[in-house]
Amino acid sequence: DFRGGCTTTPPAPEGKQSTLQDDRMALLLFRAGDGAPKAVPLSLVARLEDVDLNQVETSNGQPVVQYRGKLMPLVPIDPSWQVQRDKRQPVLVFADGDRSMGLVVDEIIDIVEDRLQVELGTERAGFMGSAIIADKATDVIDAGFYLTQAFRDWFGNATDRFEDERLHKVLLVDDSPFFRNLLTPLLTVSGYNVTAVQSADEALGLCESGEDFDVIVSDIEMPGMSGLEFAQAVRGNSRWQNVPLVALSSHATPRDLDRGRQAGFTDYVAKFDRDALLFTLQQTISETKGAA
């Protein structure tokens, strides 16, 4: 099994160069159909598989394979893809609980560590835009789009997997559209009711308007009011002063952890460490309920 995780970069010297190291992460590069190479954060992919197309069956008009005792839908990025017998096909497996989806690609190119900055947006379904990755123009896919192609209710029946009748409300504060679009479906599929905003000012506006949340997840590096300043404002004198705060950041040095806790953050998670974020949210909510 191949498993993506958080990648860290040694702290850069103080000054302009420090910003050049932000948001480096493990990225899976692949080809699918025509056009530019494509990329997805490796941390979203549960496994890489090589599927024997002779084993592909059809269920409800959709290609599926028997995978680990379950039927796994196969969803191609290339709409013209057809099953060719006596061949093998690389597949990116996305998993949640006991459900899996296989994203059909043509070729795995590489796993690289690079910054992911979407330079050009797009209206194409299934894509978030273009970025320069490994010195090449690369299409960044929207994993959530393909998950709902496999299971329409992938993001809709999360309550069935939780004992609580009420979905826990999470406020996500991040100035990056990419991270908001990426984390919102990941948290939703895990059973959270997510509200995403692009700035600390917008988040504080929700506080003033009377909105309540069980947990707040905030980026640290944001223009305008930073995450640290936001945490201090929340803890200083607001209706949310007792709401758990989880920090998201590209940096996780001991000094950063101390600064985050001093500002009022309950915990600190590195960006793209999906498992750590979900574990932290679950643990934080459990501790809050236990203290109530």
Check pLDDT > 60 for residue 9.
no
Tell me the sheet residues that pair with 245: 216
The residue written with tokens 């592909």 in the block is 56
CATH architecture of 158-291: 3-Layer(aba) Sandwich (3.40)
* pLDDT classification of 166: cutoffs 50, 70, 90: low
Among 128, 111, 102, CA closest to 30? 111
281: phi > 0 → left, psi -120 to 50 → alpha, else beta; which?
A: alpha
| Cα(175)–Cα(181) distance, integer angstroms | 11
The fraction of the chain above a pLDDT of 70, given in percent, is 82
Question: Residue 192, CB half-sphere, CA atoms under 13 Å: how many?
Answer: 25
The CATH number of domain 16-150 is 2.40.50.180: yes
Q: pTM for this one?
A: 0.54
Check pLDDT > 70 for residue 159.
no
**Which residues of the chain are in CATH 3.40.50.2300 domains?**
158-291
The residue written with tokens 């909510």 in the block is 285
* pLDDT classification of 291: cutoffs 50, 70, 90: low
Q: H or E stretch including 96?
A: strand 88-96
**Which residues of the chain are in CATH 2.40.50.180 domains?**
16-150
Check pLDDT > 50 for residue 139.
yes
Choice between 96 and 127, residue whose per-residue pLDDT is larger: 127
CB atoms within 10 A of CB 162: 13
Q: What is the pLDDT of residue 5?
A: 28
Dump pLDDT digits (tens) for 25-74.
Answer: 788 999 998 888 999 988 788 899 999 999 999 988 889 999 988 889 99
CB atoms within 10 A of CB 161: 12
